[in-house]
Amino acid sequence: MTWFVIIAVVAAVLALGYWLFMSPTSQVFGCFPYRASIRQKLVALTFDDGPNEPYTSQLLDLLKRERVPATFFVVGNNLSGTPAMIKRAAREGHSIGNHSLSHRFRNYFVEASFAAEITANQKLITDAIGRTPALFRPPWLFRTPWLLNSLKRFGLQPVSGTFVNNREIFQPSAQAIASSAYRRTKPGTILIFHDGYNAKGAPRGATIQAVEILIKRLRAEGYDFATVDQLLKVPAYQVPAV
């Protein structure tokens, strides 16, 4: 009985810790929007961990063909090798957000490390597209009170969302990803896909196919698409100091 109680307590503590620090919906530490409160059938497609070739290019081809705007939360270490993809994304009307420089979990426990992650990636993105992001999504959605306060000083809006499928990063079938994403979609939803994997490349063919399936299915039900900033009615980019 004692071991059962200990296990139950540990499980409860871990569950609470996850909800506080990594849950897509928790607002305990401050505003961390995961959807827009609207009735209009409007959703935002977002993509984390890129750019990752050739999949980011394939995704951009699909979005251009379907005339769907999206938001890319990019990792600086990936961006530094393929800035052309993000230039293209911005040129074609997609919003570009900061998703850290290295995507390393340990860099979020020391404020100096976190600040370095933010500023380095802000510079890489600004150099690539000529504009400085105002949107930030922390890796794994991890946040603390001081992290959210730091974002305010950097002029960044934190953005959460809804993961389209709990196993999407491991690439189950496109149909499985699309079906799960469809079930989780409602007016105002911010959907989280991955066109990369942490700070490195990975196969994303199933994700690309799933996005195409989902776009067609949602459109058939009267949905339209927006960037995160359009959905939340916040700036996508910071205004340069005069």
Percent of the chain at pLDDT exceeding 70 = 92
Residue of higher predicted confidence among 157 and 17: 157
CA dist 78 and 7 (Å) reads 40
- 191: tokens are 């959907």
Name the nearest CA neighbour of 78 among 159, 205, 196. Answer: 196
- What is the Cα–Cα distance from 229 to 96, expressed in whole angstroms? 10
Kindly tell me if the per-residue pLDDT of 19 is higher than 90: no
Q: How many CB atoms lie within 10 A of CB 100?
A: 26
Of 156, 99, 160, nearest to 125 by C-alpha is 99
Kindly tell me the sign of the dihedral angle through the C-alpha atoms of 159, 100, 73, 140.
negative
Q: Is the pLDDT at 12 greater than 80, yes or no?
A: no
Q: What is the rounded distance in angstroms from the CA atom of residue 37 to the CA atom of residue 7?
A: 38
- Average pLDDT of 18-42? 91
The answer, yes or no, to whether residue 7 has pLDDT greater than 70, is no
Query: By three-state DSSP, how is residue 237 classified?
Result: strand
189 vs 242 pLDDT, higher one: 189
| Whole-number pLDDT of residue 51 | 96
pLDDT at 30 over 60: yes
Band (110; pLDDT cuts 50, 70, 90): confident
What average pLDDT does this structure show over 140-167?
Answer: 94
* pTM of the predicted structure, to 2 decimals: 0.94
Q: Give the mean pLDDT of 6-32.
A: 75
Q: CA quadruple 59, 62, 66, 67: dihedral positive or negative?
A: positive
For 52-74, write each residue's pLDDT tens digit: 999 999 999 999 999 999 999 99
Mean pLDDT, to the nearest integer, of 29-36?
95
Give the integer Cα–Cα distance in Å for 61 and 113. Answer: 36
* pLDDT digit string, tens, across residues 71-98: 999 999 999 878 899 999 999 999 999 9
pLDDT band at 109 (very low <50, low <70, confident <90, very high): confident
pLDDT, mean of residues 133-144: 94
What is the residue extent of each domain of the chain? 28-232
CATH architecture of 28-232: Alpha-Beta Barrel (3.20)
